[in-house]
Amino acid sequence: MIFFFLTLFLSIPISAEKPAPSYSLQNLVDRAVESNMEVAAARWKVAASAANLRKATSARFLPRLRLDIESGLVPEAKGDIFNPPSDTSGVRPLGPFGRTELEFIQPIYPISRGRQIKSAAENGVGVEEADLRGAQNQAEFEVKKLYHGVLLAQDLLELVLRLQEELEEQRGEIEDSAALPMSNLYKFELALIELGKQEREATSQLDLAQRALAWQAGLNETESLQLRARWLAPVQTRAIHLDSLLTRALSQRPDWRKLQAGIAAKKALHIAAKEAYKPQVFIGGGVRFAIAPGRTDQRNPFVKDEFNLFSGAAFIGVRQSLEFHLLAADVAKAEAEYRQLSSMKEHARRGAELDVQRAHAQYRRAESDLQAARQSRSLARQWLKEAKDEYEFDPDQLKELISAFESWALIEQQYFQSIYDFNISVATLEMTCGGLQLSSEDPSSLRDD
């Protein structure tokens, strides 16, 4: 029996707690784009603009229909014009009636006006889509800044902890060394106090950066944030040439696309305003039906009973506006708005090129600074290694070891900052170029899935 229960217990699977998911930079960007408030608002604006486009398209091809249905009570009326009711008191019983009227109008000229209104609506969608793309690019940039900021704070905290550990290991030898003056012993204690302060500050900054990143990425408060990247590494960039960027950026930048769509929309509205001078030709008609059981149906075509009838007609109509002064004002306004946007085109193009050149120069400068930081880091590590070897051979060289250790700690911090500045310069260049993907994370820094 004991063997039976033991076998049964071992056969039941033990549910292990599912590990918290880790997020790559692209995972967080995708979540931010889906949950960002500005992006969501821009999506609804695109939807509203698309509805206006459907309305303009329908108005161009489909007739305008109107259906009126009425019902109520009406005095009964039996007889006709030759046989009127015998009761002439005017007080008669009430009876029900129903009335339905269907009207339609189908514009047929000028056709070009409807086409221009539809073109303006299409470009209105383009304007809102450009705003949507701009909101997405901004959300992506904010996530990248916070993502690299979390990794920077994480590496700086690890550096502070490592420095504290190194100094604690050397505490005994430094206190017992007769080669160091009394001032250096005080400097050592002050350095430990300063590192403790930096540890608390780095811990607070890391916690704040993680909270900000989780909020920007749309994570729930109960979800833990674990990054796939184990440390801050320079992003891998493709070949970035300024001439290529200038060519591609102009067609990708949301502000430029918005301006182009806006100019096209205003031009279409200007043409549509001039089309209003032309007469409007349309086909119209309708059907009217009314029934009242308590009233006699009048067969005489010259006698009309509004509560008991059936009629219909179709016709061709012409409508011409004679308010030419008002039409001229509308044309002048539409032309002014079109010219206003058109005048900004050259200025916007040069401004966009200048933005790309500025961001590219910042990227090149950050790249050079990172290369210099790598060289400084290599030299500082070599100096620290040689100072440790010399100290092991000659303990009186402790002062040289402390100097090398201080320089190494400072250069390590500058190296991490240089990586962060380089990554942000690449992200800035990507956003300035309209969201071009110019980089990817270093695979060696990522955890395995």
CA pair distance 337, 329, nearest whole angstrom: 12
User: Across the chain, what does the average pLDDT equal?
Assistant: 86
The confidence band for 187, taking pLDDT boundaries of 50, 70 and 90, is low
Report residue 160's pLDDT band, with 50, 70 and 90 as the boundaries: confident
Q: Which residue has the higher pLDDT, 228 or 448?
A: 228
Q: Higher model confidence: residue 392 or residue 93?
A: 93
pLDDT digits (tens, 9 = 90+) for 313-365: 999 999 998 999 999 999 999 999 999 999 999 999 999 999 999 999 999 99
- Quick one: average pLDDT of 79-106? 82
Give the mean model confidence (pLDDT) for residues 55-59: 87
Q: What is the pLDDT of residue 1?
A: 46
Confidence band for 89, pLDDT divided at 50, 70 and 90:
low
**Domain boundaries of the chain, sorted by first residue:** 19-62+110-279+320-437
Per-residue pLDDT tens digits for 394-405: 666 666 777 788
Q: Is the pLDDT of residue 5 over 60?
A: no
Q: What is the pLDDT of residue 2?
A: 46
User: What's the whole-model pTM score?
Assistant: 0.81
Q: Is the pLDDT of residue 85 over 80?
A: no
Considering the domain 19-62+110-279+320-437 in this protein, what is its CATH number?
1.20.1600.10
Q: Above 70 in pLDDT, residue 163?
A: yes
Q: How confident is the model at residue 194 (pLDDT cuts 50, 70, 90)?
A: confident
Average pLDDT of 290-301? 85
Indicate if the pLDDT at residue 274 is higher than 50: yes
Please give the average per-residue pLDDT across 170-175, as a whole number. Answer: 63
Question: Does pLDDT of 15 surpass 70?
Answer: no
Q: What is the mean pLDDT of residues 139-157?
A: 93
Q: Work out the pLDDT band at 27, boundaries 50, 70, 90.
A: very high
Average pLDDT, stretch 254-262?
95
